[in-house]
Chain A
Amino acid sequence: MRLFLVSVFLWLPLLFFAYSVNAEVCLICHSAMNGKVRTEKGILIELNIDENRFSKSVHSGLECTMCHKTYTDNPHEPQTGEVSKNITDLAALISHKVKMDPIAYASCVKCHEDVYKSLSESVHGKNIMEKKQKDGPLCLDCHGSPHYIMPGSSTESHVNRWKIVNTCGECHEKKDLAEKYSLGMHIIEKYNESFHGKKHKLGHAGAPTCVNCHGAHGIKKWDDPASPVSWEKRIETCGKCHKGANKKFVAAITHKPVGKDNPIPFYGEKGLIILTAATLIFVIMHVFLEAYADIRDHIFRKKEEPHD
C-alpha cells in the first residue's frame, strides 16, 4: 500500500509539467534506469542519463524535447510536434547510418547549422551523405554523447587538443578502413614520432594537432586543392607557425613511413642503426673485458710498484 502511494507521488510532477517538459522532469525516471531496452526496430539502447555528467555538459540547459522530437514508445504519450524541414531532410540523408533516431540526431543542425554545412561538404560528410556509406564520423562519433558534451577547453571533451589525436585515431588507425579508402596506414604513428607529436605528448601548448593543419568539420582529403595541407595551400598553412615557410620546407611532413622507394634514407637509416649497434657492442664488450682484466690484474697479478 505504502509503495503504491509512493509510486503515485512519483508520477505527480508529470501532471504539473505536462506542457513544458524540461530536462529535470525526464530525468526523474531517466536518471534512475538500469540496463538497456530493445526498441521496436530491434536496437538495444541505453535509456539512462548520468544526471551529474549531464548537468556539467554544455547542453545541460536544453530541454530534452528540443532534440527528441518524436518518441512513441510506452509509457510516453506519442510526441507529434512538427519537425522543421531542414531537420527531416538531414535525417533522411543520414538515416542509413543513424538507425536509432535520425530526427534527434539531425536536430543538432537546429543550433549548429554552419557546422553541419561544412561537414556535408567535407570528405567525411560526403562519404555518408552522398556515397551513402556508414564509415566516417557524424557529430557523435567525435564529440561523444550529446548529453555529456563538454566545452572544447575541458580535458573531458573528446575533441580537446590533448584528446583529439586519439579521437581521430579511433578510425585512422583502423587497417580495414585505411585499405577500403586507401588512406595513409601509419599516420597517427608517424605523427607521434614527429617533433609535432612528441611536443604535443609532452604538453607543449604550441604543438599542432591533427585539426590545426587539416581542419575539422570541413576536412578535405589532402590532395583536394581546397584542403589546407594540399600542395597549393600548404605553404600558407605551415606558415602560420613557421614564418618563411617555402616549397622545400613544406615537404617535411608526409606522415608516411620511409619505404624502399626512397633508397637513400631507407638504407641510410638501416646503415645508421648498424653503425650505432656495432659501435655500442664494441664499446660495451671492451669496457667489460677491460674491467675483467683490471680486476684480474689487481687480485692475481699484483705487480711490484715500479720504483722511480
Chain B
Amino acid sequence: MTNERPLEYQRFNLTFRIQHIILMVTFLLLAFTGWALKYPEPALEHAGWWIRMWGGPKSAGVIHRISGLIMIVDFLWHCIYIAYQLLTGKMKFHPDTTVVPLPRDVKNAVQNINYFVGLSKTKPKFGKYSYIQKFDYWAPFWGMAIIGLSGLVLTFPTKAAILFPQWSVNWIWELLFVLHSDEALLAITYIFMMHFYAEHLKLENFPMSMTWITGKIPLKKMKNEHSLEYELEFGKNKGDDK
C-alpha cells in the first residue's frame, strides 16, 4: 500500500529551478560588486583587495550592469511563466499550495513564535509554503521590482530623466540612490540570515537542502513541514486514495 507512493515529491519543475539558479548567480554577482561601491576602498591600496577581485571599478561596473539586466530578464520570465501557467490552468490557486500571503500566515507566525519560546506545544501546520517561505519569495520579488527599476534609472539616467515629472527632479535622484543601496543591503542581510539558516544551517538541511538542484523533497520531510500540502496531495490518512 504505502509502497505505491514515491519516496520523493516533485516540488519545483525545471523552469523554476533554472530561474532560481540564474537569480542566485546574478544576485551574488550584484551583491559582491555593489558592496564594493557602497563601501568603497581605493583599489590601489591594501584595503582595496575586494574591488581588485572584480577587476577594478570599471570592470565591476560592467559586471554589475550585465548581471542586473540578466536578473531583470529572469524576473520578467518568471512573471510571464506564472501568468501563462495560471491562464492555461496548469497551475491553480489553492490556499494550501499558494504563495500568496493569507490571513492564516499571521496566525501561523504567532503560533510558531509561541512554539519557539515554549508558549505553544505544537508547531503550526503549513501548506506548500510556510509564512517564512512566502516571505522568502516576496522579499526578493519586491526587492527586484524596486532595485531593478531604480537600477535601470541609474544605468540610463539621461533617458530616464525624460520620464520624470518636473516637480520631482530636485529629490528623486537622491531617493533613488538611497532606495537602490538600502534595499540591496536589506536583501543581502536577509538572504544571509533567513535563507541561509533555513536552507543550509537547519539540522535537517545541513549542509544544504538539495531541493534547489533536484526539485524534489523527501516525502517524510514534506509530511512534517508541509503537512497541509501533503494531505491535499496524498489524503489525510495513510492508505487513502488521492
Interface positions of A (Cβ within 8 A of B): 194-195, 198-199, 201-207, 242-246, 248-249, 251-254, 258, 262, 264-265, 268-269, 272-273, 276, 279-280, 283-284, 286-287, 289-294, 298, 306, 308
A265-B40 in contact given A249-B157, A252-B157 (Cβ < 8 Å): no
B41: A residues at CB distance < 8 A: 201-202
Chain A to chain B: the 4 pairs with minimum beta-carbon distance, closest first: A249-B161, A203-B43, A204-B57, A265-B171
Give Cα distance in the complex from A198 to B168, angstroms.
24
**CB pair A268 B175 closer than 8 Å:** yes
A287-B194 in contact given A203-B44, A204-B58 (Cβ < 8 Å): yes
B224: A residues at CB distance < 8 A: 306
Q: How many contacts A-B (CB < 8 Å)?
A: 129
Give Cα distance in the complex from A248 to B185, angstroms.
28
**CB pair B197 A276 closer than 8 Å:** no
**CB pair B58 A264 closer than 8 Å:** no
A284: B residues at CB distance < 8 A: 193
A251: B residues at CB distance < 8 A: 169-170, 173
**CB pair B174 A258 closer than 8 Å:** yes
Give Cα distance in the complex from A264 to B174, angstroms.
11
A202-B36 in contact given A269-B175, A289-B117 (Cβ < 8 Å): yes
**CB pair A283 B194 closer than 8 Å:** yes
Within 8 A of A (CB), among B138-190: 139, 154, 157-159, 161-162, 164, 166, 168-175, 177-179, 182-183, 185-186, 189-190
Within 8 A of A (CB), among B21-45: 36-38, 40-44
B77 at the interface (CB under 8 A from A): no
Q: Which of B42, B166, B174, B190 contacts A265 (CB 8 A)?
A: B174
**CB pair B37 A244 closer than 8 Å:** no
Q: Which of B43, B174, B223 contacts A306 (CB 8 A)?
A: B223
Rounded to whole Å, the gap between the CB of B68 and the closest CB of chain A is 15
A269: B residues at CB distance < 8 A: 175, 178
Give Cα distance in the complex from A264 to B179, angstroms.
13
A258-B158 in contact given A201-B40, A279-B186, A291-B197 (Cβ < 8 Å): no
Give Cα distance in the complex from A233 to B161, angstroms.
18
Subset of 25 A-B contacts with CB under 8 Å: A195-B154, A199-B40, A201-B40, A202-B56, A203-B56, A204-B57, A244-B159, A245-B158, A248-B169, A251-B169, A252-B173, A254-B170, A258-B171, A262-B171, A265-B174, A265-B175, A272-B183, A279-B186, A279-B190, A280-B189, A286-B194, A289-B113, A293-B117, A306-B220, A308-B220
**CB pair A202 B186 closer than 8 Å:** no
Rounded to whole Å, the gap between the CB of B42 and the closest CB of chain A is 6
A203-B186 in contact given A268-B175, A269-B178, A289-B116 (Cβ < 8 Å): no
B69 at the interface (CB under 8 A from A): no
**CB pair B158 A244 closer than 8 Å:** yes
Q: Which of B36, B51, B178 contacts A272 (CB 8 A)?
A: B178
Interface positions of B (Cβ within 8 A of A): 2, 36-38, 40-44, 48, 51, 56-58, 61, 113, 115-117, 132, 139, 154, 157-159, 161-162, 164, 166, 168-175, 177-179, 182-183, 185-186, 189-190, 193-194, 197, 201-203, 219-220, 223-224, 238
Give Cα distance in the complex from A244 to B160, angstroms.
11
**CB pair A287 B193 closer than 8 Å:** yes
Rounded to whole Å, the gap between the CB of B189 and the closest CB of chain A is 6
**CB pair B51 A202 closer than 8 Å:** yes
A286-B157 in contact given A203-B48, A251-B170 (Cβ < 8 Å): no
**CB pair B158 A283 closer than 8 Å:** no
A276-B158 in contact given A251-B169, A269-B178 (Cβ < 8 Å): no
Give Cα distance in the complex from A249 to B175, angstroms.
14
B161: A residues at CB distance < 8 A: 246, 248-249, 252
Rounded to whole Å, the gap between the CB of A26 and the closest CB of chain B is 37
With CB as the reference atom, state the residue of chain B lying closest to A292: B116
In addition to A198-B37, A205-B58, A265-B172, 6 A-B residue pairs with Cβ atoms within 8 Å of each other are: A195-B37, A202-B48, A244-B158, A246-B161, A269-B175, A280-B186
**CB pair A272 B182 closer than 8 Å:** yes
With CB as the reference atom, state the residue of chain B lying closest to A197: B40
